[in-house]
A and B are shown apart, each in its own frame.
Chain A
Amino acid sequence: MLPRPAAAVTTAGPSGAVTAAAHTARVTLLAPGTDDLLAALRGTPALRPAVDRGQAGGLRALLEDGLFERLGGAGSPVRITTATIAGAAPVASSTALIRGALVAQLVRLRLAGVAVADAFDDASCALAASGRDEHLVALICDLDADEHARLGAEVMAHDAVLRRRLGAIPARWTPRCGLRQVISLAGGRVELRGFVDAALGAPGSPRASVCLLEVTTSSLEPRHDDVLSYLALLETLRTGEAPLRAAALSTGDDRFVVRDATPELLFGAAMSLLDLIERRERPS
């Protein structure tokens, strides 16, 4: 279990829930929070902590030493992804895959400042132009009228949450989408991979200002906390500076969780990662 800093914030707003209440997992309320995701994520600029560029080196050394102690020198490759951290997810149906891909495109459209007129059509169009997920585009084309209408209604509901939570993001917040993280450790034997849906704030300033946002169509669960810590750790290793905060937004139940990327959180993420790798590689 990772340490939970007091500054972490979650909200649990029942209004506008897309998923039925019975389907929504409980989320621990860590501190009284705000209902404004972007305000919670970005906070007050003057109160942001200074960037400690030595932190990334310390975390990398901690991981390298820990991996050598646990795994030794040689062995089979180890690959950790966000899905590994989140736990083995059941195989999603094709409808769920399409919905997830379309919502991911809607997040991008919101970041790009597009006034989405028809959520399903605009997202489908964006997905087709992405040059990826061609099999999903083909599945969308094969939907019959009833499936199309039902999926369209679902996507519209998820988009309503995005519209309310993300609103209009100014270009000066330097929105970015689809950030890939690939960290190689133990001489290339261990590979850590992550994918951040959206990032706000420019790196390179004296104060931490980069905010990571993970969007999920499933209900928010405690495992999303672990994913946020993991992504913040990879971002620190990747860029050399810790992000300010990381947040997960569920478009399924309209809840979000925001975590401060404190040194304690990053240290906890590194230790959890080492334990996870040890459990996977040495099950006994």
Chain B
Amino acid sequence: MSARRLLAPSAAQLVEVLVSSAEDAAPLSSRLRQLLIARLTDTSARAGGPRRRLDAFSVERDDAGFTTPFAWGTRAARRAIGTAAARGVAQGRHADALRAASEEVERLCDRAERGLSRPGSLGAWLRGEPAPVRSLCALEAATWAGGLLALVTPATQGALGVGVADAWFEVPGTKLTLHGRRDAIAAAGERRSILRLRDGLPGDASLAGLAIEGLVESLAAPTRALPARVVGAWPDAGVCLVMDFDEDVARTAARGLVSAAVRRCVVPEDDRLVVAA
């Protein structure tokens, strides 16, 4: 897998990369799709237990770093709220990200108040927090949304879908869910491009992570052509990686996903280091 590297690109440059047309492509081949599902089903059947989620992090981090149970916090909540805030600003419903984020926090609290949120959801957590914490969540989310909106300024947002829903794929008959994150999508001719924001610096495994985002996108939309490219943006570092996506990349990503599934589902906790070595 390879990618082009852009340093501190302007919004116009980045959008140009996202929307530039690519050669026509077919959807993900049914053979690769069925093979991947079969391998994941087999892995999941050997594991049993609770529902598991696999995403780019699972592949990139080799499942390290998830030793503590997830808990909501102002930082953990920022992308969920920030996505909605960025969408509100991009669609012209809000003049600034902070007001958009504050409104989203209120909406989530209201849903939780009316009993529409699941236990453990972001809305349920926000509802139980005092007003200053809710405001901080809005600020963190506005900061996150600002990072996204800086990459796709208002002049270029017409060509993009900003703050879109993530791609999800439930492996049929299993307790495995595949999660592909995407923060903006663009039409690149007949195909689509995906933009994904990340923290920190891109690492050695970042390309594998970007490939997973493209693969899950392909699985979630089986009749749509493969994504033209997956762009990872690291605003902290001012770096973007542009990966052209095709069937070969999807195949490599599928291998990585199956390996991650094996590590996550089958290998006992104590043996993970041995597998990693």
Contact = CB atoms under 8 A, between A and B. Distances in A.
Contacts of A182: 200-201, 234, 236-237
A267 to B, nearest CB: 17
Contacts of A237: 8, 238
A111 B139 contact: yes
In which size bucket is the chain B interface?
A: 35 or more
Residue among A113, A176, A178, A202 facing the most chain B CB atoms (10 A cut-off)? A176
B71 interface: yes
Nearest to B200: A182
B150 to A, nearest CB: 5
Interface in B1-32: 7-11
B222 interface: no
Nearest to A116: B132
Interface string A114-138: 1010000010011001111000000
Interface in B122-159: 129-133, 135-140, 142-143, 146, 149-150, 153
Interface string A207-222: 0000000000000000
A132 B73 contact: yes
A180 B199 contact: yes
Interface residues of A, number: 40
A67 to B, nearest CB: 16
A130 B97 CA distance: 20
A179 interface: yes
B6 to A, nearest CB: 10
Contact of A130 (B74, B143, B150, B153): B74
B146 A125 contact: no
Contacts of A132: 73, 75
B161 interface: no
A126 B201 CA distance: 27
A129 B105 CA distance: 15
A84 to B, nearest CB: 17
Interface string A38-65: 0000000000000001001100100000
Interface of B: 7-11, 71-76, 95-99, 102, 129-133, 135-140, 142-143, 146, 149-150, 153, 199-201, 234-239
Nearest 4 interchain pairs by C-beta: A131-B73, A240-B8, A238-B238, A112-B139
